Structure 1
């Protein structure tokens, strides 16, 4: 059952990565539309995997009730028949639910418990790509002038840890970039510092600055890093940095 959870999570994540690749190619910048497309595709994928599953079970040799199918093969016509007829899938699901599709502690899981498992699987397949899409390609800077996604460049050096975000944002907003050039000494070991990334394109009039805080703490004899985004995509004039 744990393996099935990972498979389901991977399926949901795969939907996101495929769509995120498409959104990047399509130059889709509207986050709301991206989320809507993600939801619709996730619903279609959930439905299609059920059509595939029941078509494979229809062609399988063996018995249900927790036993293993001896042999099964993909049949395109069978898949199309189930895919185009939701009522067939529903009837098959009811039949599968009566006998169970897997065992837990050598007992077939069926009835209400199996419906609950399927509901959880549906939630994972739908919610996983949606959550990931909130931080997908559509949040990144796009140059309307150059019609390209802006390139990311990591600025050199470690910066002072951002303790007062508003003060740093105010300074940068007033075109005072002394903070970004005030690097910490490389000769000293720092457990709290910041790093910066800059997004830009060839001719766009603006760039976008992102700053992360880094903190290292010791846990059980090992150093662990915590990275937090404190300033995201702050718009500044071109060639400011």
Structure 2
């Protein structure tokens, strides 16, 4: 018997339908917003952020639908997320080609920036989106001519294909990662609810030998977890995260991280975390003991 949480793989018909329908609709809405924003904002750096935002928001929507639909099948949810991400990529191309078809006068703002005015025709869009062969056949032509310039240098050919590939990866990876992860999070089948995540404020001594730590905790040697006192400071340090279902005391899982505080040249600090173990099942008594030992203290600066 595994000492780690394993998703049941259960789903609901309503949950799957909600995931797919809301995901497809969200992809269309976000595709329109993304294409219009990149069309009228002639700054490549902002466009990169818009692409990341496109993938992140779509991922967030699918993550929420995974939670609401109580989908505990990471493989199925992951494949559906990839399909919806691919749909989002395809729709944004259909929107772009529609705007390209309606393109009119180009307005220049100096030598480096220009905006081409366009109009959107619903009939044209519906005709394009129903023709995957047409959409795919247009990509080599666009790649040959280029879509935009960086400092008057036209981006085309192989470089443009790389940009498109990165865009596709973002739209596939973000939704897959967050929805797959959520579907694999602890869930109480008895209570019918997701476990709540609690990050203990009391830091622990770091776990330099992760395999030794895993072996000790799998053997129920809880003395391996040592809280740091208020006077101690260490970098890195250990962090304990507990996942518990309020209505099921047997649903209690422990995750550990090594946390390192890094300071850049400007004095700005950032946190780097490395997983030590994830979702180790612990007994209700151990769960209470961990609350008592790590439930109240400040994290080292």
Q: TM-score range by the shorter chain?
A: 0.7 to 0.9
* Gap change, CA 1:148 and 1:93, over 3 Å in 2: same
Aligned counterparts of 2:115 and 2:262: Cα–Cα separation in 1:
51
Q: Which moved more, 1:73-82 or 1:110-119?
A: 110-119
Residue 276 of structure 2 corresponds to residue 230 of structure 1: yes
How far did 1:204 drift?
4.5
Q: CA offsets, 1:22-53, max 9 Å, x none?
A: 11111112221122112111111111000111
The alignment yields a C-alpha RMSD, in angstroms, of: 3.1
Question: Which position in structure 2 is the counterpart of 1:162?
Answer: 207
Q: CA offsets, 1:157-189, max 9 Å, x none?
A: 222222344444444344443445x42210233
How far did 1:116 drift?
4.3
Aligned counterparts of 2:212 and 2:151: Cα–Cα separation in 1:
59
Question: Which position in structure 1 is the counterpart of 2:45?
Answer: 2
Question: Which position in structure 2 is the counterpart of 1:34?
Answer: 77
Question: Which position in structure 1 is the counterpart of 2:122?
Answer: 76
Question: Which position in structure 2 is the counterpart of 1:194?
Answer: 238
Aligned residues: 238
Q: Which moved more, 1:137-146 or 1:93-102?
A: 93-102
* Gap change, CA 1:237 and 1:109, over 3 Å in 2: same
Scaled by the length of structure 1, what TM-score is found? 0.81
Residue 173 of structure 2 corresponds to residue 148 of structure 1: no
Tell me, what secondary structure is at the counterpart of 2:227? coil
For residue 254 of structure 2, the aligned residue among 204, 209, 231 is 209
Aligned counterparts of 1:86 and 1:218: Cα–Cα separation in 2:
49
Question: Which position in structure 2 is the counterpart of 1:53?
Answer: 96
Gaps of at least 5 residues in structure 1 are none
Whether the 8 Å contact between 1:60 and 1:69 is mirrored in structure 2 is no
Scaled by the length of structure 2, what TM-score is found? 0.67
* Gap change, CA 1:11 and 1:215, over 3 Å in 2: closer
How far did 1:200 drift?
1.0
Aligned counterparts of 1:152 and 1:50: Cα–Cα separation in 2:
39
Larger relative CO (CA 8 A, sep 6+): 1 or 2? Answer: 2
Tell me, what secondary structure is at the counterpart of 2:258? strand
Aligned counterparts of 1:203 and 1:112: Cα–Cα separation in 2:
55
* Gap change, CA 1:204 and 1:74, over 3 Å in 2: farther
Whether the 8 Å contact between 1:143 and 1:204 is mirrored in structure 2 is no
Whether the 8 Å contact between 1:143 and 1:149 is mirrored in structure 2 is yes
Aligned counterparts of 1:93 and 1:226: Cα–Cα separation in 2:
40
Residue 146 of structure 2 corresponds to residue 103 of structure 1: no
Q: CA offsets, 1:115-161, max 9 Å, x none?
A: 44434433343344445555x21231111111111011233522222
